[in-house]
Structure 1
Amino acid sequence: MKKFSSIIYVFILFMISWNTASAQDEDLLKLLGEEKPKREITKNAFKSTRVINSQSMEFLSPGTMDFIILHRFGQISEGMGNFFGLDQASMRMALDFGIMQNLMVGVGRSTYKKELDAFIKYAPIRQSTGLNNFPATIAISAGTTLNTLPWSDPSRKNYFTSRLAYYTQVIIGRKFNENFSLQLSPTMVHNNLVALQTMPNDVFASSLGGRVKVSKRMALTFDYTYIIHGVDKSMYKDPLSVGLDIETGGHVFQLHFSNSTGMNERAFITETTGSWDKAEIRFGFNLSRMFQIKKQKEVSKE
């Protein structure tokens, strides 16, 4: 836990020092007689509202709906017998909605455990430049999942609440320049029902996500989650995904490799069993298509 706290401390210091350098540049412009620019929200740190698995610091514009398909094949380690995993598939379909510039909600359905999920994401502070600027975006995301599989033991008394799990996370991210963005997301997942009485209901983790732009429409991404407490590390692994984002007009196409099967927070944080060193990884893609379902209000100019 001390090591994890040190990582967060260094991450925050790095962002503050970067912002201090930017503020000094603005003060220099002021001395030269140039007006300080108006406050502008920093956008496009990531091209999607998800890095790969994890929520990103990005938000949908108000009145926008994002239809997302997250698709993942079987394990590459299964070889030609399963065509390196391409004969299998797991997927999640979702609809996300932009409510305000700093508020969005979403719902989804996964084939893994037949889960339904929903979330809300809100940013009280967003990275900005100019007047009253701030060096980073700080957002809060909270969600729930519902397992709809038949009960493993229908003869016992089962409760609806046992199907539920919840998660809460804080996203701290910064777009350092047009080519590089980084974010850190401490997360807690609570399972109402666990397999063994000795297992904790709460899982603590932290995700690190980044984006490196390589061309006008392409960027490399990575998404790693370190499990701090709550799972058996001999059975479950830290989820790691690496990918390539391709922007094509209204679509964002993400190609990636990942050792996780599940694609909601409860699933990929608490139940990733694949190991990268054993090639227990899966090829997959995320496809995002934007729809404008409500016209944005025009800002009158004086």
Structure 2
Amino acid sequence: MFFLLSMLLYSIAGAAQETEDLLKLVEKEKPKKEYVKYAFKSPRVINGHSMEFLAPGTMDFRILHRFGQVNEGFKNFFGLDQASMRMGFDFGLYRNLMVGVGRSTFRKELDAFAKYAPIMQSTGTKNSPVTVALAAGITMHTEPWADPSANNHFSSRLGYYYQVIVGRKFSEALSLQLTPTMVHTNLVPVSTQPNDVFAMGLGGRVKITNRIALTADYYYLFNGREKDFNYNPLSVGIDIETGGHVFQLHFSNATGMNERAFITETYNTWGKGEIRFGFNLSRIFQIKKQKQSM
């Protein structure tokens, strides 16, 4: 009897050990979680933020340059005699957190932003089919007051924007995103324009080759649009990657190059040929060494 009981216990223990070994084997075979990268080659599509983030410890020195209107013809050399620009410095803090500052010649405006992604597109265990990122920024124009004798307030120079970016890299060739946006301007240019403007952004990238891609972004304004005054901003371009640089050529009906400016102050329309040729130049610098894991 004792012998039979011992054999039974031994069989149970062996079966338990075998089950544990099988479970460990299954766990090892589970695909590890991997985050999807390079939905866009830049943290911006053209004008607006993209679902992409800078790597931790890197800085993106970015120059956005936009000429005058193409339809002005030869007298203004098809817009090339005029130019506006934004110079920015963006910093990657964590895999899903980055900040940036910039200065534009349009309205002599300073801006700063932070972008954070609580959810990032990934594969493997606990994967996510999309990236959800939150962006918030502040702008301050520094141009002289139109009427210096009036009771001007510093707060009248300020504007704010808030965005939710929902994007997905569908394949190596296609990435799309939606960007619900709210822009608040403390002092609007005309009394009929609201202080709060709501818009829906759409951005996309189509990869042509390993180094060339087509990009576009568009923002539809739900309110704040007035006939023959301001329009929905549309930009289309081509990205060219040259090693450490991303060079982008584009056409846009927007003059401003931060969210408050290009969403609420786009005064030109594609329908009348009031478009501007421009380029964006991005150079990534490693400013902090990455920690190497064993």
**TM exceeding 0.5:** yes
Alignment partner, residue 275 of structure 2 = 281
- Larger Rg over CA atoms: 2
> What is the 5 A alignment of 1:137-216?
137-216=131-210
1:230 aligned partner: 224
Find runs of 4+ consecutive structure 1 residues off by over 6 angstroms.
none
1:61 and 2:18 are equivalent in the alignment: no
Matched position secondary structure for 1:229: coil
C-alpha deviation, 1:123, in angstroms: 0.2
Partner of 1:11: none
1:146 alignment partner AA: M
> Does residue 91 of the first structure (1) align with residue 80 of the second (2)?
no
Relative distance call for 1:78 and 1:293 in structure 2 (3 A) is same
Corresponding residue number in structure 2 for 1:46: 40
Q: Deviation string for 1:61-116 (max 9, x for gaps)?
A: 11100000000000000000001001110000000000000000000000000000
SS at match of 2:262: helix
Aligned position for 2:211: 217
After superposition, give the CA deviation of every residue in 1:179-200 in whole Å (9 maximum; x if it has no partner): 0000000000000011233331
Matched, 1:118 2:112: yes
Cα distance, 1:111–1:228 mapped onto 2, change above 3 Å: same
Structure 2 gaps of 5+ residues are: 1-26
Q: Report the CA distance between 1:230 and its aligned residue.
A: 2.1
**Deviation digits for residues 212-269 of structure 1, max 9, x if unmatched?**
0000100000111101112324311110000000001110001100010000000100
Instruction: Give the distance between the partners of 2:192 and 2:36, measured in 1 at CA.
Output: 46
1:35 aligned onto 2:33: no
Q: Aligned residue for 2:237?
A: 243
Deviates more, 1:78-87 or 1:190-199: 190-199
Q: Give the structure 2 partner of residue 22 of structure 1.
A: none
User: Which amino acid letter does the alignment assign opposite residue 68 of structure 1?
Assistant: R
- Figure out how many residues of one structure are paired with residues of the other and give that number: 268
Q: Aligned-residue CA RMSD in angstroms?
A: 1.2
Q: Secondary structure at the match of 1:252?
A: strand
Displacement of 1:36 in angstroms is: 3.1
- Does residue 291 (structure 1) correspond to residue 285 (structure 2)? The answer is yes
Q: Please point out which of 121, 124, 141 is paired with 1:130.
A: 124
Shift of 1:34: 9.9
Equivalent position amino acid for 2:88 in 1: A
Aligned residue for 2:170, secondary structure, equals strand
1:111-159 deviations in Å (ceiling 9; x for gaps): 0000000000000000000111000000000001001001111111111
Identity %: 70
Equivalent-residue separation in structure 1 for 2:194 and 2:79 (angstroms): 33
TM-score (norm 1): 0.87
Alpha-carbon distance in structure 2 between the residues aligned to 1:38 and 1:120: 29
In 2, Cα distance between the equivalents of 1:248 and 1:197? 47
* Aligned mates of 2:226, 2:171 — CA distance in 1: 39
Gaps of 5+ in 1: 1-32
